[in-house]
């Protein structure tokens, strides 16, 4: 009889520790994955009607982000991510590709491969490109109390109830999803120069996306959050910038040649 009781206690303790072990295993498995930036397609026609399409060369993209965004920081309660080492490609290249895609899909300008072929040079300063995840410490206390109460209820004698309660409290903290706030932001400054190198336009825009979901403390769904929110933040920043750029291009537009206008 005692042997059966001991076996049940060991089984209960193993079940209590299983969520913790699985969560830690998932956490360690996610740490080695590189994050990709899957930017959504969105075609919007912003072509200048009756005017010659200006040619633009995308020049440098400078990284002016704060150091905390490059290195990443925090655990559990507040996390700034992804750090530079987590990205599959440099942040400047990621943004350059996103900007190129948005400009091509609007038809506002014609992108050319050489600066000597361009009417304008367009450079970008990446001021912010990050995600922030925050959890309340009280949420950890609640999940710990839930796990501890369950362990105390399942335990046999007082000593076993304490041990099982502690084990299940830890398991509850690590395995029960808690309310988590997530914020993504992208801030970019674009500078447009003419053939002589003089600045004809400069504008900075900030794109922000805030979200709230339930995530376990050990889970790091960085790729999912980047796909869902940071991509939208970049899209909003670029929409602001391209809209302003269109106004400038319209003010400086050159009428299309008669044959090209007829072709349109």
Q: Has residue 211 been placed in a domain? A: yes
How many independent structural domains does the chain possess? 1
Q: Please give the residue range of the domain that contains residue 212.
A: 2-32+45-263
User: For residue 82, what are its two tokens?
Assistant: 């992804």
Q: What is the dihedral of CA 217, 39, 202, 255, to 10 degrees?
A: -160
Q: Has residue 39 been placed in a domain? A: no
Angle at 121 between CA 195 and CA 39, to 5 degrees: 165
pTM: 0.77
* Confidence at 253, pLDDT banded by 50, 70, 90: confident
The SS3 call for residue 213 is strand
CATH number of domain containing 60: 3.40.50.10610
Q: Has residue 37 been placed in a domain? A: no
User: What pLDDT sits at residue 262?
Assistant: 47
User: What pLDDT sits at residue 129?
Assistant: 98
pLDDT digits (tens, 9 = 90+) for 174-207: 666 778 899 999 999 999 999 999 999 999 999 9
> 212 — alpha (psi -120 to 50), left (phi > 0) or beta?
beta
| Residue where the block lists tokens 């504008």 | 203
Shortest CA distance to 165 belongs to which of 49, 4, 6, 9? 9
User: What pLDDT sits at residue 12?
Assistant: 47
Tell me how far the alpha carbon of residue 259 is from its chain's centroid: 46
Q: Has residue 179 been placed in a domain? A: yes
What are 12's strand-pairing partners?
none
pLDDT digits (tens, 9 = 90+) for 125-176: 999 999 999 987 765 555 545 554 554 455 555 555 555 555 555 555 566 6
Q: Has residue 40 been placed in a domain? A: no
């Amino acid at each position: 009889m005692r042997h059966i009781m001991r076996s049940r206690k060991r089984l209960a303790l193993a079940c209590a520790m299983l969520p913790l072990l699985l969560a830690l295993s998932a956490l360690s498995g996610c740490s080695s994955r590189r994050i990709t930036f899957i930017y959504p397609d969105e075609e919007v026609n912003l072509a200048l009607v009756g005017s010659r399409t200006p040619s633009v060369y995308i020049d440098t993209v400078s990284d002016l982000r704060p150091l905390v965004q490059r290195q990443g920081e925090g655990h559990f309660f507040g996390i700034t991510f992804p750090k530079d080492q987590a990205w599959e490609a440099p942040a400047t290249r990621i943004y350059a590709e996103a900007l190129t895609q948005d400009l091509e899909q609007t038809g506002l300008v014609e992108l050319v491969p050489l600066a000597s072929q361009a009417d304008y040079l367009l450079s970008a300063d990446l001021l912010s490109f990050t995600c922030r995840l925050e959890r309340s410490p009280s949420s950890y206390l609640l999940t710990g109390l839930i796990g501890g109460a369950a362990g105390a209820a399942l335990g046999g004698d007082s000593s076993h109830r304490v041990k099982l309660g502690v084990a299940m409290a830890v398991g509850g903290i690590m395995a029960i999803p808690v309310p988590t706030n997530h914020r993504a932001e992208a801030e970019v400054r674009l500078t447009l120069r003419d053939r002589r190198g003089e600045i004809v336009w400069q504008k900075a825009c900030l794109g922000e996306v805030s979200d709230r979901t339930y995530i376990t403390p050990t889970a790091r769904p960085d790729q999912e959050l980047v796909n869902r929110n940071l991509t939208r933040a970049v899209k909003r920043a670029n929409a602001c910038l391209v809209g302003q750029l269109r106004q400038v291009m319209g003010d400086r537009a050159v009428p299309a040649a008669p044959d090209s206008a007829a072709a349109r």
